[in-house]
Structure 1
Amino acid sequence: MREPRTVALLLAVSLLGGACAGTRGAPVPPEASAPLVYRSEAVGAPRPEALLVALHFSGSTPAFWDEHVQSLGLPVRTLLPQGPRPRRDGFTWFQADHEAKTQQGKTEDVERMAERLAELIREVRAAHPELRRVVVTGFSYGGDLAWMLALRHPELVDAAVPMGTRLLGDPAGALPASHRVWVLQGEHDAIIPVQHTRERVADLKGRGVPIDLRTYPDLGHDLSPALLEDWRTFLRQSLRGPVD
């Protein structure tokens, strides 16, 4: 059962705590400081104890996740943010030059947006103290952000299921052993070579990151029924939390 009214809020979330003297006079793109729009609602129970943060792909909207959240069949509070920049029939998370940047430039873009999303998670958790677990997921750019949230904010995120992600950034410290990251990707992804993902996951595992990879034959940079079934399985496990 959904709450009678969807919470749709505009939040002005500044980047890394706002402007600083070192950046004074530098041009700030509108989407870097514009309010982030998001929806947050309880599904299946009035006060769920788990929060699912779902991040849409470029050119999509938060509504993409509605049917998938319902298919979980679990009580959960959702946090469905919207990318700040219009693209095609939806929205995207980064400026138009994001793909032209170096690996470091892309990583910095994702880190900045992940900071803004972390602020949204803190806002929702403060408003709903009954929340005990936070799980993040996303596809493509949304997957990049879901991974970055798990990597940079282990104090906020208990588990992550990023899909079609480049796994940008490196861990600054150890992630708790209780955390889990499941990466899902098509084996014929023309945007992110699956061999790169395999090597990246192996390297991260070697450094103690609790991460695993599942790939799907004949699938490109897309979702499939088999992938979505695994997505539901991993999310149900994560949202329920460890069995005492």
Structure 2
Amino acid sequence: MGRWRALPAELEPAVAKLVSQLRELKDTSGRTTLELAKETGYSTSSWERYFSGRAFPPREAVEALAKVVDADVVRLLAVHQMAQDASRRRAEAVGVEPPPRLDEPVDGLPAAGGTDSAGERRRSRTWQTLLAAGAGAVVGAVTTALVMAPSAGAARPAAGVGRRVVYTCVYTLRDGLWYAGNSTTRTQQLVVDMTGSDVAELQCLLQRVDITPGGIDGSFGPLTEAAVIRAQKKYHLDVDGQVGPRTWAALRR
């Protein structure tokens, strides 16, 4: 096993304890990150973020890992709860939106029933802000987010707390290709954590072939990534959970 990189110094001790235990369970099991991704349903990129401390792992991911490696689920979830409470206190202290509690709905959706892309985006956004706060960079990060103008037509991070864009799927067939009314791109590279009309178009096209992306919200979260992987397997493409010209071509046909 290779040595783990040091965790960010600004992590709350309770969070660092949780991540350390997740790392230990992975090492003890002898599994690779790719193997864990296949067995838990969470992508390799998601696990890499969880293990590095760059994203807070959702309860469902922690529970899935514990079951896969035959660990004490109740004990590990208790550690997760303490870490989440610590993150919540940090969020309240620096004045950012705290991550949702285990018994709270996320963006109007029920708390039970697995992760959702909107919730993953919200957790990731809050987590990045908390890390920036710990490093003394909250003001700079917020200022940059407000003044930087995104490039036209590209998928981009959501701007403006509380502002939501409603996307719909209006399917049309033109020159043998399907379009859903949000974007006409056939080449835009999409990866996890991107947002925008291109992502909404992707979600509509996935939905059209009966592969649910977890909603049409324009956010490339873990459910959308899992749907992309299923589509890539269905169309015999390289399976990487990312969207490029070949995946677009398959979904538009």
Q: TM-score, normalised by structure 1?
A: 0.30
Q: Which has the higher helix share?
A: 2
Q: Which has the higher strand share?
A: 1
Q: Which has the larger radius of gyration?
A: 2
